């Protein structure tokens, strides 16, 4: 059973650690249900008590947890129970204005804080985040139905990202360039140019529901180490996990107003935030919303990580056991709700039957059920998402795709489904289901596979499986995607690797180093000498 125990290391107030649930956790009735409710709120006790008021979580501004003057809240629906799990404040435009004003002045002081001190605070936040991984992971389980173990992994990975970012920042921001003028025709050595990286100002971070902690810190940490202030608008599903994470930064002791977190529906406060004149940079991860934001944002640097339709090209000489394992892991982890999930398999006709057979056998072994039980396939994030996925499945059925399993759905829970003999006239061949449904298109040449990959509006990642590295390199160069993985499924991590999408998949590049650089601007100081500097002696 779940156990809540006083933590051996109390940091003030009652602090608890939660031991992870056994398989008995789901399906409890009566008293069991109230146990689930108290557990759901368990993360909001002890050190997190101040972030909640009654049953509504507060927003974070000016170094304090606050109630919105709107008097309104936004409900967060548990994807498994389809009932309200949490509530967050619906912040007003006036509150956003105030947050921006404070963020602006806090940034001015922060930019003058020595780099090593900024790094020190980030390391502290990382340690606090990892220390409180259990209650934060609990929120991820309840808000976005992330399997329990993966939820813990997300928080730990986030702590590691913050620490790595602090170290990388110290290295890359500690260096600038020195240029001399006489390398350019017509110049003597009379000008010395010194360049360094300076912060942009206020960075607005908007992450998506599927990694509300990790994709928030991947924006927060680079922004802060580079001397910016940060305003976070978390996804509604995932907001409570994000608020807990923000509290870890609060506990670390960052200056007031440097980090803020405003909650509310993106459709209601999103435009006001993204078009706010105080915002100097937007780092967004999500779907097509990002395309709309890019058109409205104005003349500020944008980092956009958007959707994908990652293709997996399989050649005749590939190790089909390796391919099948990667397709199942890549296509069905977190029920396919990953930007870098394998979203279409393009396999040579001659090996397609064997590969489909192997994948089918592995799909049969996937466990399906609630996230508390750590099942492989858990409910998708919302009913509308489940309906969208079902629409793609029905379209494929009507147009004659081969169903390798029976289509089954209960509420938001969709059983894993492999669709063979998918053709380009089916929606699933092009659209991102963001669910546990994977299409297989049989191809008669590698060129056909590359053509399908490149005909997509998306260009996030892709992968190719072959024993021939020379061929793999040619295919990698031909695929119009930000990254190509050879003999492995697409993946965003490790978090310091460059990560970028072409076409509708994004603008700019993420990854720790690239994000720090993106959130800075080059500043030059030129020393002008009256005579060329090498004339003495």
> Which residues are near ligand NAP by CB under 6 A?
206, 208-210, 235-236, 265-267, 270-271, 274, 285-287, 289, 293, 305-308, 339, 432, 434, 460, 501, 506
**Residue owning tokens 């081969």:** 402
Tell me how far, at minimum, the Cβ of 504 lies from ligand NAP, in Å.
10
Q: Which is nearer to ligand NAP, 270 or 439 (CB)?
A: 270
Token pair for residue 74?
Answer: 């936004």
H or E element in which residue 376 lies: none
Would you give the DSSP letter of residue 20?
A: P
What contacts 292, CB < 8 A, 6 or more positions away?
A: none
The catalytically annotated residue of 95, 154, 168, 305 is 305
Q: Are 233 and 284 in contact (CB under 8 A)?
A: no
Would you say 147 or 227 has its CB closer to ligand NAP? Answer: 147
In whole angstroms, what is the distance from residue 73 CA to residue 88 CA? 5
CB of 85 to ligand NAP, least distance (A): 15
Q: Are strands 417-420 and 402-403 parallel, antiparallel or unpaired?
A: antiparallel
Inter-residue contact 278 to 103 (CB < 8 Å)? yes
Judge residue 183's burial from the number of C-beta atoms within 10 Å of its C-beta, 0-12 exposed, 13-18 middle, 19 or more buried: exposed
Q: Which is nearer to ligand NAP, 305 or 372 (CB)?
A: 305
As measured in angstroms, the least distance from the Cβ of 370 to ligand NAP is: 21
- Cα dihedral 277/283/286/288 (nearest 10): 50
| Closest CB to ligand NAP among residues 15, 78 | 78
CB of 288 to ligand NAP, least distance (A): 7
Residue 53: both structure tokens together: 């008021």
Q: Which residues of 477-492 are buried (b: 16+ CB within 10 A; e: fewer)?
A: ebbbbbbbbebebbbb
Q: How far is the CB of 448 from ligand NAP (least distance, A)?
A: 25
Minimum CB distance to ligand NAP smaller for 285 or for 335: 285
CB of 19 to ligand NAP, least distance (A): 30
E strand or H helix that includes residue 304: strand 302-305
DSSP 338: S
By CB atoms closer than 10 A (0-12, 13-18, 19+), residue 199 is buried
**Both tokens assigned to 173:** 């921001």
CB 482, CB 459: distance < 8 Å: yes
Site of tokens 């399997």: 147
- Whether 305 sits among the annotated catalytic residues: the reply is yes
Q: How far is Cα 182 from Cα 177, in angstroms, rounded to an integer?
A: 16
| Minimum distance from residue 96 beta carbon to ligand NAP (Å) | 12
Give 135 or 506: the residue with its C-beta nearer to ligand NAP.
506
Q: Identify which of residues 384 and 445 has a Cβ nearer to ligand NAP in the complex.
A: 384
Which residues carry out catalysis? 305
């Amino acid at each position: 059973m779940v156990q809540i125990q006083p933590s051996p290391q109390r940091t003030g107030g009652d602090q608890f650690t939660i031991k992870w649930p056994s398989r008995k956790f789901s399906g409890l009735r009566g008293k069991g249900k109230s146990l689930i409710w108290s557990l759901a709120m368990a993360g909001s006790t002890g050190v997190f008590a101040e972030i909640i008021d009654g049953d509504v979580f507060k927003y974070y501004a000016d170094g304090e947890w606050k109630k919105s003057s709107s008097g309104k809240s936004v409900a967060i629906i548990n994807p498994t129970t389809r009932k309200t799990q949490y509530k967050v404040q619906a912040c007003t435009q006036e509150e956003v204005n105030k947050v921006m004003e404070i963020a602006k002045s806090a940034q001015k002081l922060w930019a003058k804080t020595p780099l090593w001190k900024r790094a020190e605070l980030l390391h502290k936040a990382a340690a606090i985040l990892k220390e409180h991984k259990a209650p934060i992971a609990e929120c991820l389980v309840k808000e976005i139905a992330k399997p329990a173990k993966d939820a813990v992994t997300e928080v730990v990975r986030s702590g590691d990202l913050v620490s790595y970012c602090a170290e990388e920042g110290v290295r890359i921001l500690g260096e600038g360039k020195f240029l001399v003028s006489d390398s350019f025709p017509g110049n003597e050595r009379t000008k010395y140019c010194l360049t360094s990286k300076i912060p942009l100002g206020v960075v607005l971070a908007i992450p998506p529901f599927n990694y509300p902690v990790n994709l928030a810190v991947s924006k927060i940490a680079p922004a802060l180490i580079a001397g910016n202030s940060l305003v976070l608008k978390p996804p509604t599903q995932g907001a409570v996990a994000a608020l807990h994470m923000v509290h870890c930064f609060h506990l670390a002791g960052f200056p007031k107003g440097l980090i803020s977190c405003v909650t509310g529906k993106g459709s209601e406060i999103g435009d006001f935030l993204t078009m706010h004149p105080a915002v100097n940079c937007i780092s967004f991860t999500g779907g097509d919303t990002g395309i709309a934001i890019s058109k409205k944002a104005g003349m500020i640097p944008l980092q956009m990580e958007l959707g994908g339709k990652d293709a997996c090209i399989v050649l005749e000489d590939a190790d089909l056991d390796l391919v099948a394992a990667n397709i199942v892991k890549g296509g069905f982890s977190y029920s396919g709700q990953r930007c870098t999930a394998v979203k279409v398999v393009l396999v040579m006709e001659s090996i397609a039957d064997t590969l489909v057979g192997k994948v089918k056998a592995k799909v049969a072994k996937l466990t399906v059920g609630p996230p508390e039980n750590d099942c492989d396939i858990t409910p998708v994030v919302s009913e509308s998402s489940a309906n969208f996925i079902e629409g793609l499945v029905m379209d494929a059925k009507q147009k004659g795709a081969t169903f390798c399993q029976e289509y089954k759905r209960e509420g938001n829970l969709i059983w894993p489904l492999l669709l063979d003999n998918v053709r380009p006239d089916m929606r699933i061949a092009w659209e991102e289901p963001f669910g546990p449904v994977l299409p297989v298109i049989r191809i008669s040449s590698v060129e056909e596979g590359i053509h399908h990959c490149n005909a997509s509006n998306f260009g996030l990642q892709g992968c190719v499986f072959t024993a021939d590295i020379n061929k793999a390199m040619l295919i990698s160069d031909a695929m119009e995607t930000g990254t190509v993985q050879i003999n492995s499924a697409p993946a965003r991590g490790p978090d310091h690797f460059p990560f970028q999408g072409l076409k509708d998949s994004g603008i700019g590049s993420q990854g720790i180093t690239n994000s720090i650089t993106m959130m800075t601007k080059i500043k030059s100081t030129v020393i002008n000498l009256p005579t060329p500097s090498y004339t003495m002696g």
